[in-house]
Structure 1
């Protein structure tokens, strides 16, 4: 038992407004100190002493614990007062000795009991809170140990995605320590930037999903992720808890199974099952866009003989290489598959004319022209191709594939050259395709056998009536058919890509002819050469410069006519090409103006010298008010931009008079002269036309 403390003398005089003596109120620290510092018998003795001092009684004690206590003065002269707070009783005070106690003594003892009870209640509450916090800390430490012992990665984050906890499983999975991870936003672990942290599913309770994450080493892996909301005591969301497990091996296994199920093991191309799915998806999009689709059935010729003679190893390698050539030939959005054996299929979408499928078929056949060098053998195969078209022939992949197979058999049986045999399932399409193929084949032959010639249509200045230039127009002199109209072969050359070769030939021949006239002493005038969009590449300025240099031709002889559609793609690239051409001294003219985009913005930004009014507007002049308005507007706008204007297709004096009054600079058309061969054009220059000097 501790020694009783020596109490300071208490002046028991009362403050009229207080329940306790004034000096006692100032010394309540003694009671506080006792309750906070002492326990058991020592506390009881100290509280008893304080009670004796307060009442000046020789006998007084504090009895801890609950009990039945009658408050007030007992018949035996003992004054008692319970120490209670609410329904909780901590003990009671009792003092005795004097003959009697008055109301003042009872009030003092009651106030001491009330103070003691309040202090004991607060102390008990503090002890319980401390104990609860200790238990909570122990529980958290216990839970942390549990989380650290499991292999699963567990982390928590606040509502903004900032990490608030990070277990050892997360350290092992990601390679970041808790010190490195906590406080950073979860986004630094993402491998895919389009993922969202606070998904709505997390607010509703969580779900499982598969995600890609990045480790500290930079490696990307697949993880199974479960997100659940964290909530406070008021059930308000405060963040998320994430559970992650590495499932990379499982994903690889799934991908392998998927590849085996949907891809050809030998070539890596889609198999028939996947091909049907992809084509059906493509047809759905084509239908939505009012477009067309096509399925090409490709059968390799002579493969079976090679495979039977040289063995499966050589045959397999031949199939692999053929598949790669097909893949390199097609666009990224096209679908190519191996159906089995030496049979392949191609799905085409997003085209407008069925004959465009013919061009693709010919490209696939051309891809097989070069020999295959395998195992020291020079191997050659070709392909017969059948085509079915959506929606005319069928509405789904399997139907179209079956019909394309029938068309392929028809192509192989009816064509003298199986390696160039192509057939549509529809007889009407077949007839049109055969005609196109006949023209295309003839055009290829014409390019190499001198069947193409240049005609020249002069351009006249309205004000002076003098010739200021001429347009080079290609003509095909067919040995059996005679002159083939340009409308028959130019569109085909555009769709097949032959227009590039035709354009190169025209530029070469135009410069060669201009060089002849230059050496003959004719004054320079612009010879216009049409350039297609396919030709308008970075190589064009180099080709023009080389051609001029090869013939020693002054650039003032040459003008290139380009269409509006050429200017609508990749402004910076097109501008760079045009600047390089004009830097050579070659003029640029914008052909068919008004039929395309007719954007005013590029007219002031591109180095164009001349606008050509399309014949579709000239034809209606002067009777058609709309054509007159359009032509007049083009001329007025060109004059404002300091550009020259030429109208093509002028055939009547009324048309000429309208254009003259509107301020048009030049014209060309049958009113003045039809396109002429070079010798007739030169004769006209020397005999009948005046040249601009």
Structure 2
């Protein structure tokens, strides 16, 4: 059936309206669900921030209130114990900057020990300690039960009756100190809450109003700065003053509700996991509230999805046009059917008419032209392609409407060989002066009275060209960031090499690698990681709009090529990148701080440019990664030599064990009191026939990276067991300490491996001590916990080497079955004259004593160091003062004979 004009109008208008209305309905359905889910996630993140911060403090307070030195001091009033506890608090205050005051207050309300932190920790002299019996956090905690805690309300700190400025939000944690079943006072921590309040404020942003209220409705974080903390100044500014209906719903426990003031989400935080005493001044919890005004949020939504809405509108237009076109095609099909029927009935009066019909329905554009290029006739397909009506196209000159290829050269009759027609790719101009790619074939007009006339067969190849362009983009651009990829970077570098040599230009190549980017993927997921990479790509393009290329090399590595006049230009560019990325990225409501390392390689005019220019920049970048975060380095010949050295090590190391190039040296471990040798540390050495002596600092990282460390470590364990067995013939309790790589420790069931070695060599578990760095606890806490427990159950001592990383809570350290703590030589070097070194070492020794850990101090080189460490509580000493590392046979000659005790007590020169 042929559709009328009315049908056409109704169909072309009504269909887009229906589609648009359906799209709006679907978007309305998801709008509120997205807003609800977004605000729930935001409040959950704030809630977790508060919970983690306050519960960590509570664990520390409970842990310290049971400190042995504190308990003994509270019982005996022994001054030495008071000093030990004071020293312990100094170490804790130095580690926890948010602990503004740490105090022990006795049962009469008198301060006995107090450590303040004003940028650095210091002990308050006893003469300055105060009577705090009238303070609420003392009065209201006199009857605290054991394992019960008092947490004060969150308010601003008051000194001498006035609010301290700048404002210091403060929460006081109080834990009872029990001695023999009786309360002997309390331990108090003044926790400075500004950091997590600032964190909550940052989360409750991004276009949505976020508030934090105390249990009475007073503003802690409000819509205006002058409302916050106003209750501390006698002003009755409350949430219910602005939102009375909403306050009533909050008190009833509602967490999601809509009023005339907007859409509200709320959560009430109270540390329910703790046994807290309730008093007039105790912590009553806080409300976390977000308020979304629909019009504001809709504006943000429109801004975020503006491109999608524009695209959607274009789709509607296309659908409307398509609907109308379908109707036209249907009518054309009906017309064509009627036409063919009529022609069949007339039996196609002439062959010329038959040929004309074929031309008219052809999808190819067909033009008949005179010898000078004037268009004499055109079929519908040609009119459609060139966007002319039939009468508008006739009389135009074909040569003026066609260009050869992408370079736009004019096409003359001489280029159109009508004798041997071949397809030619050209650009054809439309009526609106735009061009489309076409494939044209020109041939003579058959049976024409004018031999110079010719016919043009024209095929629109826009789709084919778009497909080819898509393939080219896939081959040359990164699919995630839309930046040029490695293939296109190579083409750019080839061009720059040519310009440097032929056109006397200088350029610099900057290779940028993100530091520890895998942590983003591991903690937030690969989707967030991909968004971070896209954000980095966009920032780099904004920073360097005139760069020769900004490309993504692979993973988290990007390359920038710049034209420069002098070397300093590249260094300024690096500083610009680091400065820009000092501001955090916000990705899907996550605030992410990115650090990076940059390597620079130069190409100067007139020089032969190495094909390894990218490798040079990579070498410089890896040097920068060995420096503090956000550093850059410039490639030098020295780096090239180091790369060759590294390559040499990587090639030779896999064969070193089989060739017998490894040796184990031993350095004695000496009892701090008797100065008798009680053990030795096994130290791996490598001597290659061509490279000579290779430092462990060079080859151990290579072995860990290529996996050889497991086989090498197993061999070292065998050597150490055999050495311990031989030495125990003279020194029965002799033990060997062995450094185990974290890679080896986590790659094997280390407890099972060690158990097998002990059985093979018939050794007691006390004959070995496994040394690990703290890093393994940070990399895989749960895996390390299980592996260390298995080792402890076996009876083998495990020590922490290079102590100094630190933990989120002191109680965390006691959760692992360590028996020994090894102080790094960097802490020992300044003893006893350097006050900071002495204080830090004393704090570590004090902490170890509280946790019942044995301490080994390495790097002892002078008698003064030996005497100070022995007097301060170190158990075992190691260093050049006693002896250097030596081969097995030399060690046995020196310490194996009957004169062992005399030799061990005589320092080497």
- TM class, shorter-length: 0.3 to 0.5
When the two structures are superposed, what TM-score results if normalisation uses the length of structure 1? 0.45
**Whose radius of gyration is greater, 1 or 2?**
1
| TM-score (structure 2 length as normaliser) | 0.35
**Highest relative contact order (Cα 8 Å, sep 6+), 1 or 2?**
2
